[in-house]
Amino acid sequence: MNAYDEYMQGIVAPMRKELTDEGFNELRTAEEVNQHMSEAKGTSLVVINSVCGCAAGLARPAVIEATRTVKVAPDHLVTVFAGQDKEATAQMRNYFEDIPPSSPSIAVVKDGQLAYFIPREQIEDHPREHIRDHLVQALEQVTAQ
């Protein structure tokens, strides 16, 4: 590992922990992504994490609040980290092939198929409460199907 990679791992550790402390499973390799997407039954909440300010101040807090308030919790909570776990992130994005790359972003997947997607454009410059409510509504819509 080079000095840059080591430095970045230290920087992003608390950003990873913010989600893993809430029960999110990090998918750090393409193989882990493929395994999850092929085996996970029910609803998966997928967060494409990022080091940017809108991930820190908006996306992660909104996702955490949404998971705590949604009536029917997703069956699986998973995350990939854009710019850090590059292969895992690229592989996850392959499952959303019609969606341009976006980070941070939030996906709701049902039985391995994309059911709902919230891109960065619907996170950045939006109130945290709006993002939370948007995600809760999407989760409730998908889990009701």
Q: Say which CATH number the domain at 87 has.
A: 3.40.30.10
Q: Where in the sequence is the domain holding 15, given as residue range(s)?
A: 3-144
Per residue in 10-68, pLDDT (tens digit) is 999 999 999 999 999 999 999 999 999 999 999 999 999 999 999 999 999 999 999 99
- Residue 1's pLDDT band (cuts 50, 70, 90): confident
Q: Quote the number of domains for the chain.
A: 1
Q: Is the dihedral of CA 13, 18, 22, 25 positive or negative?
A: negative
Per residue in 74-87, pLDDT (tens digit) is 999 999 999 999 99
Active-site residue set: 52, 54
Predicted local distance difference test score (pLDDT) of residue 145: 80
**The pTM of the whole model exceeds 0.85:** yes
Burial 12-35 (b: 16+ CB within 10 A, else e): beebbebbeebebebbbebebbbe
Per residue in 56-76, pLDDT (tens digit) is 999 999 999 999 999 999 999
User: Residue 1: exposed, middle, or buried by beta-carbon count in 10 A (0-12, 13-18, 19+)?
Assistant: exposed
Q: Where are the alpha helices (H) located in 21-114, listed in sequence order? A: 30-39, 53-54, 60-69, 86-94
Q: Which helix (H) or strand (E) holds 115?
A: strand 113-118
